[in-house]
Amino acid sequence: MEAALYLHVPFCRRKCPYCDFYSVTEPPDEEIYLEALFTEARLWREHLPEDPVFVTFYAGGGTPSLLSPDFYGRLLEGLGRIFKLRPEELTLEANPEGLTLERLSAYRRVGFNRLSLGLQSLLEKGLKALGRAHTVEEGLRSVETARAAGFENLSLDFIFGWPGQGLKDLEEELAAVSRLSPEHLSYYELTPEEGTPLYQALRGGSLRLPGEDLLVEMHRLIHERLEAAGFRHYEISNYARPGRECRHNLFYWRARPYLGLGPAGASFLGRRRFRNPENLREYLKALKGGRLPALLEETLSPEAAFREAVFLHLRLSEGVRREEFRRRFGRDPFRVFSREIQELKRAGLIEVGEEGFRLTFRGRLLANQVQLKFL
């Protein structure tokens, strides 16, 4: 069985006002974290019903580039002794600040072959609106340095729909993005998450997001410009050059097994969903006591697993393919969802062929509502 291995790095230098990912701002103690991860991996190894072969490794966060190359070198070596770790794709998420050629070359040497850079905007006013710590110049330099360090598979992360952003700003940014020529791009619409400073500022009226119509125009512009520049819009928020789709994230979207280490790490194994506490202290305490910190969130019935797989596949441009679902689940999605498919097709939200169905451009804009029809 092939699976994906995720590591959550719960450290950030400071919190960005829009972010609700779990992280703490205290400096990381690499030794303690490394030991905890080894204990967690060994405990998982005892509990796993099968012995999966991990074909991807993804260090996400938080800010994984706060941890040293040496930390990852030792981690990968140690995990390789515990698991069947044969990753073909190893991704490191990184923030532009502090990325020297020496550091990036060292990440490359310990095995990372894919770098995901959190640029978020190529305009100073965008970075300011998002409360990011780096400048445009640092962002551009990090791309150059990553190339010089030998990263041939580069993903750039952007956020659109920030307060004050206009269509012209986005056009300017997209032209600059094309010139950077990455292999992969993520373009996320800014979503105010409850409890974040951004959410409070919006509620208090001191900030305003672009209106609905403008956001639709932005979605369209991103889609058109990036497709014209040779990227395939393969997932709602993700674009890739052919063959450069993120293999790791495809495990999530195709409802394939994955194991998540570290606080807030999520796992999906044999229809069971687990989650680690979003609390570094609790996580470390459990492991010190020899306990796996993961809590079982739910066990999906075969029916629920089938529905969830349809729900997730709809995020992808490949959509829901009849034969694949028949083979995997022994059920034909066209039969199970004949009424929903007809309704959504009439509403112009999905397109239907002989082989399967998928979201239209309009359907992508309303993806959350469309997906829910299948759960």
Closest separation between CB of residue 163 and ligand SF4, Å?
A: 16
Angle, alpha carbons 168-169-175 (nearest 5°): 90
- Cβ proximity to ligand SF4: between 19 and 106 the closer is 19
Closest separation between CB of residue 12 and ligand SF4, Å?
A: 3
- Cβ proximity to ligand SF4: between 39 and 276 the closer is 276
- Cβ proximity to ligand SF4: between 21 and 361 the closer is 21
Q: Is there a cis peptide before residue 265, judged by omega within 30 degrees of 0? A: no
Closest separation between CB of residue 236 and ligand SF4, Å?
A: 19
Q: Are 111 and 153 in contact (CB under 8 A)?
A: no
59: closest CA among 42, 43, 76? 76
The whole-angstrom separation of Cα 18 and Cα 207 is 12
- Cβ proximity to ligand SF4: between 63 and 121 the closer is 63
Q: Which residues bind ligand SF4 (CB under 6 A)?
A: 12, 15-16, 19, 21, 23, 61-63, 95, 118
Closest separation between CB of residue 44 and ligand SF4, Å?
A: 24
Q: Are 189 and 215 in contact (CB under 8 A)?
A: yes
- Cβ proximity to ligand SF4: between 25 and 368 the closer is 25
88: closest CA among 60, 45, 44, 53? 53
- Cβ proximity to ligand SF4: between 65 and 267 the closer is 65
Question: Closest residue (Cβ) to ligand SF4?
Answer: 19
- Cβ proximity to ligand SF4: between 133 and 202 the closer is 133
Burial class (CB in 10 A: 0-12, 13-18, 19+), 290: exposed
